[in-house]
Amino acid sequence: MSLLKLCNVSKIYNQGENRIFALDNVSMEIENGEFTAIVGKSGSGKSTLLNILGCLDTPDRGEYYLNGRSVEHLSENELSRIRNSTIGFVFQSFNLIPTLTAFENVELPLKYRGISKNERKCLALSALEEVGLSERARHNPSQLSGGQQQRVAIARAIASQPPLILADEPTGNLDTKSENDVIRILKRLNQSGRTVVVITHGKKLARVADRRITISDGRITH
Ligand SMILES: Nc1ncnc2c1ncn2[C@@H]1O[C@H](COP(=O)(O)OP(=O)(O)O)[C@@H](O)[C@H]1O
Ligand SMILES: [Mg+2]
């Protein structure tokens, strides 16, 4: 059974008279343990696809199965529970809370999940260690470079040890060295058993993936 399976999924936006098929009859499967890169021009539907895979959005047509289970009739609460237990998200713009330290940023989603203080500390510190930032735990985002902030965001995504990592252009705002750091971390996460799906414009990141899916005008072209 595939971890992720889309069957004839469309997502349609209405803009005045025009209907835009952000996704147009997309079918695809991703297996457990795969590292997949989604590539394509700006506006081609990549983020829409990732948002559906991450249960942040739902298809207008077609079916999405996560772990063999259709998400179609799930309530907002159930979707949120699935997101929290299954998926770690990483975005291009880090989305850290500026007034919290690196440690507190990583710890916050664990707090929302009701995990005890001791366990939170253990999980958050080990996630920061995994991205090589143990020494920076007490720093605020403004005291960190862009690359370090993205590594904190990755630590936050992996702290609860989700089996699936979804990243929307995670290296889009980074210099070459930080880009390489982030690529290395994502590759290592995949090698330790996580399924990773990244959207990227970067050739290097696309190259380390096992598989590349290209979309154009809402359709998978290869
Ligand atoms: N909330 C929205 N409302 C209207 N149109 C949208 C919305 N989100 C995305 N779109 C349109 O859907 C298409 C795909 O967008 P998106 O998935 O963000 O592409 P990409 O991530 O590849 O740049 C674009 O034409 C975009 O303008
Ligand atoms: Mg996008």
Task: Give mean pLDDT in consecutive 10-residue pieces for the chain, a chain of 222 residues.
Answer: 96 89 97 97 96 95 95 91 93 96 97 94 98 97 97 97 97 96 97 97 94 97 90
Residue nearest to ligand 1 atom 6, measured at CA = 13
Parallel, antiparallel, or unpaired for β 164-168 and 87-91?
parallel
Look up the pTM and report it.
0.95
User: Could you give the domains of the chain?
Assistant: 33-59+74-220 (3.40.50.300)
For residue 30, what pLDDT is reported? 97
H or E element that contains 141 = none
| Cα within 13 Å of Cα(19), Cβ side | 7
Measured CA distances, 188 to 101, 171, 184 (Å): 25, 16, 6
For residue 32, what pLDDT is reported? 97
How much distance in Å is there from the Cα of 11 to the middle of ligand 1? Answer: 10
Give yes or no for residue 200 CB within 6 A of ligand 1. Answer: no
Give yes or no for residue 48 CB within 6 A of ligand 1. Answer: yes
Ligand 1: residue of 9, 10, 13 to mutate (most ligand atoms within 8 A of CB) is 13
DSSP category for residue 32:
T
Ion ligand 2, residue ranges at CB < 5 A: 47
* Residues written for the chain: 222
Alpha helices in 30-165 (DSSP H): 46-53, 76-86, 102-112, 117-130, 146-158
For residue 222, what pLDDT is reported? 84
